[in-house]
Structure 1
Amino acid sequence: MSTEVRVPTLGESVSEATVATWFKKPGDKVEADEMLCELETDKVTVEVPSPAAGTMGDIVAPEGETVGVDALLATIEEGSGAKSKDEKPAKEEKSEAKPEPKDGKQTEKASGGGGGSIDVMVPTLGESVSEATVSTWFKKAGDTVEADEMLCELETDKVSVEVPSPGAGTLSEILANEGDTVQAGGKLAVLSSGSDSGVEQAKDDAPADGDQYQQPKAGGGKDVEDAPSAKKAMAEAGLSADQVTGTGKDGRIMKEDVAKAAKDGGAKAEAPAPAAPKRAPSPASDADREERVKMTRLRQTIAKRLKDSQNTAAMLTTYNEVDMTEVMALRNEYKDEFLKKHGVKLGFMSFFTKACVHALKEVPEVNAEIDGTEIVYKNFVHMGIATGTPTGLVVPVIRDADAMGFAAIEKAIAEKGAKARDGKLSMEEMQGGTFTISNGGVYGSLMSSPILNPPQSGILGMHKIQDRPMAIKGEVVIRPMMYLALSYDHRIVDGKGAVTFLVRVKEALEDPRRLLMDL
């Protein structure tokens, strides 16, 4: 009896993902809920747990393949792993006697001995996706490649798709260069088998007990493929696989390893010395020194969504400033005791979250959204906290923030922030927000106008705390001040409501006791 492993729900607007990493191979023993593989979407990384205990059966979707929601990934067989391992050679012999149609050219090449060529085609990109952009070639014309070795990476507006080599041989011609747009089913390159068919045959005869997974990395002919996200990160950082130490299974390079290598200066160590500047550069030489890089599909999608937000909503921003003296004094007084009791630091975000929840109760239209010709008022607050990560800005959502205390809010922010930086946020954790807070002050921003996160109708922008001279009761005193900005959808939020909201946030922060008194 076998149990099917299927693609979990990826989110409302995400219908497909790429299989990034398999942590198990056929024949391995697995426990219930043990992580089997990792899927990547254009927003998050999703781990797939085992639905039952048993032995890893067939892997239906290999690494680099694009899969839809509820698609079959693998099977889990009952019993010990020894039986599956014993059966695997028989399976391989059967596949050699009756090969799959897609490998027909490879089989003809191996048996004929005279060599030939294999077309590298664009794989299926998904139901609603008909074209992609060639983002990165991992090989160049003339390179020797192994069967299933990653040749290039394609980008759509939803996911990144890696194209494996359909066989072993030499990459003789690249037909679609980096930056070119290709159609589903189009030709990417030509692979010449030549006299290298023996290499492929040797790979087919490899033992089925998983020995090939245990060979160490060595040069360009390694047997363990690195994570797709890691290859992309290495290409962007200008690093080679030799400069990165892999911490994944069997030395596999993961995305976090690339980030660490880049931080340690791996790229700098291998970077060529800059050319000496010319004495009198001409206009033509300025163009030579420019670098023109095509936007990734993901960045194009982000740009489109941000512009759509501006085009759809009647967005307007109102400003105010808040004296942070009382909040800073309260935080300094209780931060040590707070950390000791709750195990988390007391930051400013919990104060701003509580202040916004307080203001949203008085001005509920800022917490509402438009659905066609109806206004949907939310009788709860799911607070989005904009968080910067190495791959871009994400907005994890703290659900029912209106029912949480300071400690619970700080713990949720810390947990979501850590998962965001590690790329472990699920789609559910980034959906359903009713209002958003964006803290540009951590980067030194003094004033900005945040863009709405549709379909929400309001977003609060926090900024840098700066000592400024203020007139207090007829005297000039130095106070820690922060500019606040509220961007709102003027279609349902009037100017009076927006200003009232911002004033209530200001009042709550300048006198935190008002939060306790619900004033």
Structure 2
Amino acid sequence: MAVEVVMPKLGMAMKEGTVSLWNKGVGDSVEKGEPIASVNSEKIEIDVESPAEGTVLKITVPEGEGVPPGTVICFIGKPGEEVTVGQALVPVQKPEVENEASAKKPAESTIPARKAGERVKISPIAKKMAEAANLNIEEIQGSGPGGRITKEDVQEALKKSSIQKKEKSEEKPVELQEETQQVTVSGIRKVIAARMYDSLQKTAQLTINMKIDVTELIALQKQTVETIKNRYDQKLTLTDYIAQAVVLSLQQHQQMNSALIDDKIHLFKPVHLGMAVALDRGLVVPVIRNADTYKLMDLSRTFKELAQKARQGQLSNEEMQGSTFTISNLGSYGVEHFTPVLNPPETGILGVGAVYDTPSFVGDKVERRSILPLSLTFDHRVLDGAPAAAFLQTVKQYLEEPITMLL
């Protein structure tokens, strides 16, 4: 009996998922656990694995189409097996094998011409070959069932293209051309692109920079590492201390913990802190809700748990919404100063750079000091440069006198 493959539920609030890519086509054999498709919701994208060994009998949801979770997106079974798609059983046509001799193909004259605006039908391997060769699939005539473009059709198009290029090269001087790979913007990358573009278009963003002397903070971190490990089985990072300093500073500068919505500035009392996490597929921002009620150890533990869930693709939509301020750290990449982009409708985002050592005057003596660069981007519609600088100055005071964060 054919096995149903359904659209997974990617978060409690998910109402619709989209098939971003089919790795297998009808007639392709699959192993149990082999990725057969990529699906995404608004912020999460995962691979759907085959629940059984067999053949892809029918694909019911094409690429780019959104359906509710639990919807059957394809069937896996034995070749020629019948499947049910919300109606009586219908026989499954065995697709034409793409590597058969070209003599078995229908004659070109019998292939129906594609109508204007008609969706191009193409096998996954043929699609990949066409994209790699930068061929326009709209210009390729398919010889498979229903006009489907097969691997042999793409190979034939490549031959014709090669002949045409050779003829042109004999007429014109050879011109250097760069090979390009085209990647469709979809899933998390598409959401990020839309949000960042919208952020820059609809806000008045300004970035100010400040250098923080964290020599004493690093010394405190080293002095307490064994005690914290033995007592809490945990490690406090520089990012943890920065997060604590930001939370304490936001409580003193409420204008930075705000949002401009419908021409009204909303000042928030609780601090819902967003902490950006970089993934292979894009950036996600898990949110520590009511961070102002957390102690330093709890703040550190919660962030690490959320970051782990983010890397495993297990964050719910609720855990990525409602932030009132965001921290983005590129220090591990060696970046010092950068310009972070606001996460609307927030008023501020703090960019954290890499710590570096430099000689500095301490009184009349020159000492080796550790410097942390910070970059604060804020919405100039909500507040001016002076109050934004005052907030950053408060963050500086906490980090340069770290004992005050523990009192």
Specify whether residues 516 and 319 from structure 1 end up closer, same or farther in structure 2 by C-alpha distance, changes over 3 A only.
Answer: same
Which string of whole-angstrom CA distances, capped at 9 and with x for unpartnered residues, describes residues 150-179 of structure 1?
Answer: xx58xxxxxxxxxxxxxxxxx9xx89x968
Give the structure, 1 or 2, with the largest relative contact order (CA under 8 Å, sep 6 or more).
2
Quick check: 1:18–1:41 contact (8 Å CA) kept in 2? Answer: no
Letter in 2 for 1:41: S
Question: Residue 306 of structure 1 aligns with which residue?
Answer: 196
SS of 1:366 mapped into structure 2: coil
Q: Aligned ranges for residues 300-449 of structure 1 at < 5 Å?
A: 302-449=192-339
* Equivalent-residue separation in structure 2 for 1:105 and 1:341 (angstroms): 64
Question: Residue 138 of structure 1 aligns with which residue?
Answer: 124
2:394 is the counterpart of 1:504: yes
Identity, in percent, stands at 30
Quick check: 1:322–1:484 contact (8 Å CA) kept in 2? Answer: yes
How many positions carry a matched residue from both structures? 335
Letter in 2 for 1:393: L
Structure 2 counterpart of 1:465, from 350, 355, 359: 355
Structure 1 stretch 411-420 or stretch 347-356: which is displaced more? Answer: 411-420
Q: Structure 2: 5+ residue runs without aligned partners? A: 1-5, 23-36, 49-56, 96-103, 147-172
Structure 2 counterpart of 1:192, from 132, 144, 155: 144
- How far apart are 1:98 and its partner, in Å? 6.0
Question: Residue 69 of structure 1 aligns with which residue?
Answer: 68
Specify whether residues 8 and 420 from structure 1 end up closer, same or farther in structure 2 by C-alpha distance, changes over 3 A only.
Answer: closer
SS of 2:207 mapped into structure 1: strand
* Equivalent-residue separation in structure 1 for 2:198 and 2:84 (angstroms): 54
Question: Residue 294 of structure 1 aligns with which residue?
Answer: 182
Specify whether residues 451 and 6 from structure 1 end up closer, same or farther in structure 2 by C-alpha distance, changes over 3 A only.
Answer: closer
Letter in 2 for 1:303: A
* Equivalent-residue separation in structure 2 for 1:403 and 1:356 (angstroms): 13
Quick check: 2:342–2:349 contact (8 Å CA) kept in 1? Answer: yes
Specify whether residues 93 and 475 from structure 1 end up closer, same or farther in structure 2 by C-alpha distance, changes over 3 A only.
Answer: closer
* Equivalent-residue separation in structure 1 for 2:326 and 2:206 (angstroms): 15
Letter in 1 for 2:332: V
TM-score by length of 1: 0.54
* Equivalent-residue separation in structure 2 for 1:60 and 1:341 (angstroms): 57
* Equivalent-residue separation in structure 1 for 2:70 and 2:231 (angstroms): 46
* Equivalent-residue separation in structure 2 for 1:12 and 1:491 (angstroms): 32
Quick check: 2:278–2:284 contact (8 Å CA) kept in 1? Answer: yes
SS of 1:375 mapped into structure 2: strand
* Equivalent-residue separation in structure 2 for 1:378 and 1:133 (angstroms): 51
* Equivalent-residue separation in structure 1 for 2:350 and 2:264 (angstroms): 24
Deviation >6 Å, runs of 4+: 11-14, 59-65, 114-119, 130-134
Which string of whole-angstrom CA distances, capped at 9 and with x for unpartnered residues, describes residues 424-469 of structure 1?
Answer: 3332222221111111111001211211111111011111111112
- How far apart are 1:391 and its partner, in Å? 1.9
Question: Residue 17 of structure 2 aligns with which residue?
Answer: 16
Q: Aligned ranges for residues 106-255 of structure 1 at < 5 Å?
A: 138-140=124-126, 152=127, 190=142, 192=144
Question: Residue 495 of structure 1 aligns with which residue?
Answer: 385
2:30 is the counterpart of 1:44: no
TM-score by length of 2: 0.67
2:371 is the counterpart of 1:481: yes
* Equivalent-residue separation in structure 2 for 1:336 and 1:435 (angstroms): 32
* Equivalent-residue separation in structure 1 for 2:135 and 2:212 (angstroms): 48
Letter in 1 for 2:391: F
- How far apart are 1:495 and its partner, in Å? 1.5
* Equivalent-residue separation in structure 2 for 1:133 and 1:367 (angstroms): 50
